[in-house]
Amino acid sequence: MQIELKLTAPANADYSARDLGYLLHKHPDHLHRRDVAAGEVLIFYPDVSEDRATALIHLDVDPVGLVRGKNQQTDGLLAQYVNDRPYAVSSFLAVSMTRALGQTVAGKSKERQDLADRDLPYEARIVPVSLSGDAEMVKELFEPLGYEVELTELDAESRIVDLTVKGTTRLSALLNHLYVLIPVMDNAKHYWVDKEEIDKLIAKGEGWLAEHPARKLITQRALKHRRALMNMALARLDETLVSDDDDEDAGPEPEEPLEKPIRLHELRLDTVVQTLKDHGAASILDLGCGEGKLLRRLIKDRSFRKMVGVDASVRTLERAHRNLRLDEASEAITDRISLQMGSLTYGDRRWHGFDAATLVEVIEHVEPHRLSALALSLFGDARPNVVVLTTPNREYNALFEGMEEGQMRHPDHRFEWTRAEFQEWSDAVAAEYGYQVTRSPLGPEDEALGGPSQMAVFVKGGAQ
Amino acid sequence: MTQISIPDFSLVVLIGATGSGKSSFARKHFLETEIVSSDHCRALVSDDETDQAATGDAFDLLNYTAGIRLKRRLLTVIDATSVKREDRAKLVTLARKFHALPVALVLDIDPEICHERNQGRENRSFSQHVPRNHAKALRRGLRGLQKEGLRQVHVMKSPEEVDALEIAREPLWTDRRSEHGPFDIIGDIHGCFEELTDLLSGLGYEIEPFEEGAEDLIHARPPDGRMAFFVGDITDRGPRNLDCLRLVMGMVEAGTAHCVIGNHDFKLNKWLKGRNVQLNHGLDLTVAELEKTSEEFRKRLSTFIWDLRSHFWMADGKLVVAHAGLKEEMHGRGSGAVRTFAMFGETTGEVDQFGLPVRLEWAREYRGKADVVYGHTPMAEAEWLNNTLCIDTGCVFGGKLTALRWPERETVSVPARRQYAEPAKPLDHDSGMSAQQDHDRLLYFDDYATKMRIETRFKSTIQVPEENSLAALEVMSRFAVDPRWLIYLPPTMAACPTAPEGPFLEHPDQAIQHFVERGITDLVAEEKHIGSRALLVVAKDAEAAAARFGVEDGKAGVIYTRTGRPFFKSEPDEAEIVARVGQAMDRSGLWTVLGTDWVLLDAEIMPWSAKAQDLLQRQYRPTAAAAAASASALLASLNRTTRIDGLEDLKSKAEAQLQNAMAMGKTIEGYCWDTADLSDYQVAPFHILAAEGQVFTDRSHVWHMETLEKLSEAEPMLKTTGWKVFDGANAEDRRQVVEWWSQHTAAGGEGMVIKPNAFLVRGDRGIIQPAMKVRGRDYLRIIYGPDYDMPQNIERLRQRGLGRKFSLAEREFKLGFEGLHRFVEAQPLSKVHMCALAVLALESEPVDPRL
């Protein structure tokens, strides 16, 4: 991975391109080698003349050391698989560059301070860049700073590119822009990002980041998507007050932005709670409890004496545990509520004897070929008195903006039912297991397409 | 000297005043760990064994400790005064809860002696009235001990008697673990004498001549070494009750049969003893016959029934026989509850629409290892369910009389000659599924959401930590195919020991050496395809699949990945490949040759790009492109630089890096092609893992390869695998294998797998690695990065540790093999699933994924 820095001097300029050597504090006639944490930095000048000088900064990463090192940030074991990190321009190079060219980055030059302080015509060729985004994004990053962008794709999926930015600027400004923007293009950092990273970002972004139109994207990626850090950084850029909120939030569910204008999820939960109350249910099994939004409502109502949240994901349950603040909850609360890992495609003896079970936007996450197991487990084995089940109405998707034909509201949805399909399934299940079912739309109803979501309430008994 | 004997599983309650010598008595007769002492418990909870304020907590601990020991079926001695009735009542309740026999050993010692002893001990400065009050309380309760539920009571009235006592331990009557059979276990007879003799004769018993309707006992000589076993309900409803009794009594007395008590036998004895019983449910017929017999015969019969046990726990705990079945926690134990359960089963107290008691289905919940064989509930067929078998096939209702040959686990039946009685409700309906399959439609999460311990037939138990089980359950429930199809997950494969020097990280020499060092020279080398691992379950047709796998999806087979996910997104694609493989099985005659209508194949499906699209796009291709771009940019810059000396080293390194990156890119592209339709796929099977009744790990790899070649000839989509069998000790053979590997990998092949030809070889310490991969020099660029073989890199990579991977490969292989055997033995799905789940769980162990 490398950056080629080129300085040109037009005819009759009052400086020589050779002065690049003074600006970089590296003599143009020598090969400069320097060991850094990630490997070795090479700096040399492929060409030097009065009107044109190019300095090459190449980082040769030690690929074996990268995996074997102890202090690396890994994404689990997969990071041990082969990847482009040793070769693509990344935070490794950004950091190594500031080590090898510390004076220059700080805007200092012993011999040519006047040139260091001046805007001069520079070019930086960065190769290869592993793009997380498209050419447009690169332009959005560099053009507001006054650079021209040239981009050549080097592989079929156009992820690996050869990028050149040209502009008239101070050298230190160019290097700071690159320091901040390289990891943004690449959307990764090789080290753990903490609060100090904000200080670095603010310092390197001084004078340009606050006004940059893409500053949100820049901050978000520079701080590795840590929302709390990002908010703090944005707040500091605005020079407004800082608020410390919960870290590492999972972010909104993918369907939420779609459904947000109608506050559908709130409405859904309210309806479910009311339905449970109408049936006098006191013990509730919340199957697929997610992060505990329904449980959080149920706990507020004393008529729900016992509730158990079940989810298939340990990590989701940990978040629910945090959201419900179960660690610091009183015994009066922990006696009523508990969380357990479970799965709708298995039976579970711990589910016997509940008044009601809820499946709020859950069934569509189960593979269609496993629905018979779900029905057997829930209606045949657990057999609560009441089952309240909600699921999206696929017909309504036509009314959501920006949804493509056949697209689903959430990438993990295995299917979405029309009203007729939902009716067919729920009638069949009710008949097989001796329940009576009533269905109703959820959310503002469209005359032709129905509600955005649909609900079925199964009551044990009746038609046997 | 007085000798008493107590059951080796009992709750021994010592009763005696303070100072009566209980503790030294206990230490003399019992292990220290068998004694739970109130003083000790008091010390544990309060640091002071005389702190009376801690007594409540101390007894909680005592009860808890004793309860756990009893749950584990360990004899337990309670060393506390226990002079009060209410204290003893708690202990009796505890013993009943765990079906242990409560025994009282009473030290009724003069309170003066007790006081004297207390004076001589530290911390026992009680006043004299304490032992005196104890003694008073003790004597008040002495007479009622039996009534309180203490089944055996022995009183010692002086220190001399205490000293003179000897205690022997005997197994419980139901504990017959030392008897191994083989047995012929016969279902409810109910007076069907002709069918009984038909059945016995069919089983090879010789019935000695007898006179019909007489009183002398009838004998039958069993075939060599075998023994008959009757599950009770000898009489009632049928035509020849007396003769049945004569035969069963005759064989039991002669030691050629065992019999456990059934509810009908129990009721008959009530009548024999002159109690008031209703003569219904066919008892009237038996009584009519017995009324003609002598007083002496009826007395003999009564004694016989009285001596019948609730159940037998046999064959090292592998077999339990009880009339109405028995839960695991009751095996080999004794209590009123055990006897009631064994005779009547577990009922809810309700009755159903036919007026019969509603039974709790203990067998559905049963997860024990012992086979439980029982009768009591007439069924149309005798079918295994979770290692339990009801062999009452309703002979007296016109069904059949069934015997189970054990340990062979074969059933033998004779039809009823006619219907002798009308059943209260029709025998169970036939749903088209076996009882086990019907039960296996649903597996229970809580059976697995815990630390799993799986006993394999390699005499090793494999443990899976709870967190790994949970991770596997999450993956299974979100992505996997129906567990009824998922009978097996393949093990990971060990990488060969690292080459010690030269340009190779992996080389066939080390793999061959690994096996030769362990004495295995009959080896095969097989070409390793690069595609994606796939397991193909293929049945002859959808009906055959439904019959064997109990599935309801109408499929004739499935194809799934090494983590149990459907291989194809499109079900029609899957169905088409399943159909083609099925037809190939047909055309090649393999259905007949293997004597099966389903088969499990282990295969690789090509191209790689069909399944690994995401990895290719996200990781492999960008890496190759970035590495090439980086090296060529540097090289271009170096070539432009003429003024600086000493760049040659850098140039040649950059040139090598560029070469490596290109080689990596070329290797990747060789494994990828577009799959516009199904004919672009290739399926390369390399193991025939299992078919009906067989797991083929006992066949050589040569057999697998040759058989699969026949299969491949019958279907163009099937691709053969190159292979060579060779002698690992022969230098020329080795040279040829290395030569083949070199050519194959130089031409872009992934590499080779070297295996013992015998498939499964047991070594001194566990099994020998069943396979070892030797990957090609260029293929490894995809794994270790394009420049892995540059000298400064490869020397460090040689330090890779293989121990964990070897251990993982061995454990996963054992689990896979165990699961397959369980499936072909038609064990409950819950036991098969556990093995597949465990393989997936072990995969979440941290092991270098590059190996």
pLDDT tens digits, B456-504:
888 889 999 988 899 899 889 888 999 999 999 999 999 999 999 889 9
- In chain A, which residue's Cα lies nearest the Cα of B846? A77
Q: What dihedral do alpha carbons B152, B158, B163, B164 form, nearest 10°?
A: -70
| B474/A341 Cβ within 8 A | yes
Picking from A31, A80, A342, the nearest residue to B850 by CB comes out as A80
Q: How far, CA to CA in Å, does B72 sit from each of A181, B68, B190, B642?
A: 66, 6, 37, 84
Residue A327: predicted pLDDT: 87
Q: What is the pLDDT of residues B188-209, one digit of tens each?
A: 999 999 999 999 999 999 999 9
Lowest mean pLDDT among A74-78, A404-408, B545-549, B689-693: A74-78
Rounded to a whole number of angstroms, the distance from the CA of B687 to the nearest CA of chain A is 28
| A58/B634 Cβ within 8 A | yes
Q: Which residues does chain A have within 8 Å of residue B796's beta carbon, measured at their own beta carbons? A: 64-65, 68
Chain A (392-421) residues lying within 8 Å, Cβ to Cβ, of chain B = none
- In chain A, which residue's Cα lies nearest the Cα of B665? A155
Number of domains forming the structure of chain A? 2
| B625/A82 Cβ within 8 A | no
Tokens 């850090």 belong to residue: A229
Asked if the C-beta of A82 comes within 8 angstroms of chain B's C-beta atoms, the answer is yes
Question: At residue B438, does pLDDT exceed 90?
Answer: no
Q: Which residues does chain A have within 8 Å of residue B622's beta carbon, measured at their own beta carbons? A: 83-84, 88, 130, 155, 157, 159-160
Rounded to a whole number of angstroms, the distance from the CA of A159 to the nearest CA of chain B is 7
Q: Which residues pair with B258 in a beta bridge?
A: B229
Q: What dihedral do alpha carbons A164, A170, A173, A175 form, nearest 10°?
A: 50
Q: Roughly how many angstroms between the first and final C-alpha of chain A, as a whole number? A: 72
pLDDT-derived band at B586, boundaries 50, 70, 90: very high
Helix, strand or coil, per DSSP, at residue B14: strand
- In chain A, which residue's Cα lies nearest the Cα of B789? A64
Asked if the C-beta of B477 comes within 8 angstroms of chain A's C-beta atoms, the answer is yes
Q: Which residues pair with B259 in a beta bridge?
A: B230
Q: What is the mean pLDDT of residues B283-295?
A: 94
A340 with A447, same domain: the answer is yes
| Residues A66, B797 contacting (CB under 8 angstroms) | no
| A87/B629 Cβ within 8 A | yes
Residue B771: predicted pLDDT: 94
DSSP character string of B788-805:
TTSHHHHHHHTT---HHH
The phi, psi pair for B746, rounded to 5°, reads -65, -30
Which CATH number does the domain B498-529+721-788 belong to among 2.60.40, 3.40.390, 3.40.50, 3.30.1490? 3.30.1490
Asked if the C-beta of B638 comes within 8 angstroms of chain A's C-beta atoms, the answer is yes
Which of A152, A172, A192 is a domain's end point?
A192
d(CA B496, CA B525): 13
Q: How far, CA to CA in Å, does B712 sit from each of B108, B281, B582, B692?
A: 86, 63, 12, 21
d(CA B595, CA A464): 44
Interface test with B, best of A42, A57, A78, A343 (most B CBs within 10 A): A343
| A377/B442 Cβ within 8 A | yes
Vertex B168 angle, CA B166 and B173, to 5°: 150
DSSP letter assigned to residue B378: -
d(CA A49, CA A42): 20
Closest among B600, B606, B613 to B559, alpha carbons compared? B600
d(CA B834, CA B454): 8
| B623/A154 Cβ within 8 A | no
Rounded to a whole number of angstroms, the distance from the CA of A298 to the nearest CA of chain B is 26
Question: At residue B299, does pLDDT exceed 60?
Answer: yes
A420 with A285, same domain: the answer is yes
Indicate which CATH number applies to the domain containing A94.
Answer: 3.30.1610.20
Q: What is the pLDDT of residues B149-189, one digit of tens each?
A: 999 999 999 999 999 999 999 999 999 999 998 999 999 99
Chain CA centroid to CA A211, Å: 24
Q: Which residues does chain B have within 8 Å of residue A57's beta carbon, measured at their own beta carbons? A: none
Q: What is the pLDDT of residues B656-686, one digit of tens each?
A: 999 999 999 888 888 888 888 888 899 999 9
Q: Which fold has domain B531-607+682-718?
A: D-amino Acid Aminotransferase; Chain A, domain 1 (3.30.470)
Picking from A48, A64, A348, the nearest residue to B445 by CB comes out as A348
For residue B338, count other CB atoms closer than 10 A to its CB.
22
Closest among B176, B304, B184 to B244, alpha carbons compared? B304
- In chain B, which residue's Cα lies nearest the Cα of A40? B650
DSSP character string of B400-416:
EEEEEEETTTEEEEEE-
d(CA B553, CA B180): 43
- In chain B, which residue's Cα lies nearest the Cα of A132? B618
Closest among A174, A184, A257 to A223, alpha carbons compared? A184
For residue A252, count other CB atoms closer than 10 A to its CB.
9
Q: Which residues does chain B have within 8 Å of residue A42's beta carbon, measured at their own beta carbons? A: 650
What are the E-state strand segments in B713-851? 723-727, 751-756, 772-775
Helix (H) or strand (E) holding B283: helix B283-290
Helix, strand or coil, per DSSP, at residue B830: helix
Residues 6+ apart with CB under 8 A from A36: A59, A95, A96, A99, A100
Structure tokens at B591: 């259905």
CB–CB contacts below 8 A, A to B = 167
DSSP letter assigned to residue B619: I
| Residues B411, B404 contacting (CB under 8 angstroms) | yes
Chain A (30-59) residues lying within 8 Å, Cβ to Cβ, of chain B = 30-31, 42, 44-48, 56, 58
What are the E-state strand segments in B331-380? 347-351, 357-359, 371-374
Which of A168, A192, A216 is a domain's end point?
A192
| Residues A63, B787 contacting (CB under 8 angstroms) | yes
Domain-by-domain residue ranges, chain B?
2-170, 175-430, 444-487+802-851, 498-529+721-788, 531-607+682-718, 608-670
| A2/B630 Cβ within 8 A | yes
A184 with A45, same domain: the answer is yes
d(CA B424, CA B120): 72
Asked if the C-beta of B244 comes within 8 angstroms of chain A's C-beta atoms, the answer is no
| Residues B719, B529 contacting (CB under 8 angstroms) | yes
Give me the domain span that covers residue A427. 255-460
Asked if the C-beta of A250 comes within 8 angstroms of chain B's C-beta atoms, the answer is no
Q: Which residues pair with B604 in a beta bridge?
A: B533, B684
Q: What is the pLDDT of residues A244-303, one digit of tens each?
A: 333 344 455 666 666 666 678 888 999 999 999 999 999 999 999 999 999 999 999 999
Which of A172, A192, A212 is a domain's end point?
A192
Rounded to a whole number of angstroms, the distance from the CA of B625 to the nearest CA of chain A is 6
User: Is residue A128 reached through a cis peptide bond, with omega within 30 degrees of 0 on the bond before it?
Assistant: yes
Q: What dihedral do alpha carbons B61, B65, B67, B72 form, nearest 10°?
A: 170
| B449/A82 Cβ within 8 A | no
| B787/A63 Cβ within 8 A | yes
d(CA B529, CA A240): 61
Chain A (348-377) residues lying within 8 Å, Cβ to Cβ, of chain B = 348-350, 365, 367, 369-370, 372-373, 376-377
Picking from A127, A349, A350, the nearest residue to B629 by CB comes out as A127
pLDDT higher for A10 or B124? Answer: A10
d(CA A131, CA A128): 9
A267 with A140, same domain: the answer is no
A259 with A391, same domain: the answer is yes
A85 with A8, same domain: the answer is yes
Is residue A232 in a domain? Answer: no
Is residue A227 in a domain? Answer: no
Is residue A245 in a domain? Answer: no
Q: Which fold has domain B2-170?
A: Rossmann fold (3.40.50)
The phi, psi pair for A286, rounded to 5°, reads -95, 100
Is residue A220 in a domain? Answer: no
Q: How far, CA to CA in Å, does A437 sit from each of A17, A379, A393, B675?
A: 82, 12, 17, 45
Helix (H) or strand (E) holding B184: strand B183-186
The phi, psi pair for B200, rounded to 5°, reads -60, -40
Picking from B467, B478, B622, the nearest residue to A159 by CB comes out as B622
Asked if the C-beta of A79 comes within 8 angstroms of chain B's C-beta atoms, the answer is no
A187 with A274, same domain: the answer is no
What are the E-state strand segments in B315-407? 319-322, 347-351, 357-359, 371-374, 384-385, 388-390, 400-406
A151 with A297, same domain: the answer is no
Asked if the C-beta of B593 comes within 8 angstroms of chain A's C-beta atoms, the answer is no
- Mean pLDDT, rounded, of chain B: 91
Residue A72: predicted pLDDT: 43
Chain B (799-838) residues lying within 8 Å, Cβ to Cβ, of chain A = none
d(CA B790, CA A80): 18
d(CA B82, CA B838): 48
Q: Which residues does chain A have within 8 Å of residue B784's beta carbon, measured at their own beta carbons? A: 82
A158 with A52, same domain: the answer is yes
Indicate which CATH number applies to the domain containing A441.
Answer: 3.40.50.150
Question: At residue B125, does pLDDT exceed 80?
Answer: no
* Residue ranges, chain A, pLDDT below 70: 67-81, 158, 225, 235-262, 462-464
The reply to whether CATH 3.60.21.10 applies to domain B175-430 is: yes
Share of chain B above pLDDT 70, in %: 97
DSSP letter assigned to residue B298: H
A34 with A169, same domain: the answer is yes
Q: What is the pLDDT of residues A152-171, one digit of tens each?
A: 988 777 688 999 999 999 99
Structure tokens at B329: 């926690």
| Residues A138, B636 contacting (CB under 8 angstroms) | no
- In chain A, which residue's Cα lies nearest the Cα of B653? A60
Residue B508: predicted pLDDT: 95
Closest among A74, A54, A91, A86 to A204, alpha carbons compared? A91
Picking from B623, B625, B644, the nearest residue to A83 by CB comes out as B623
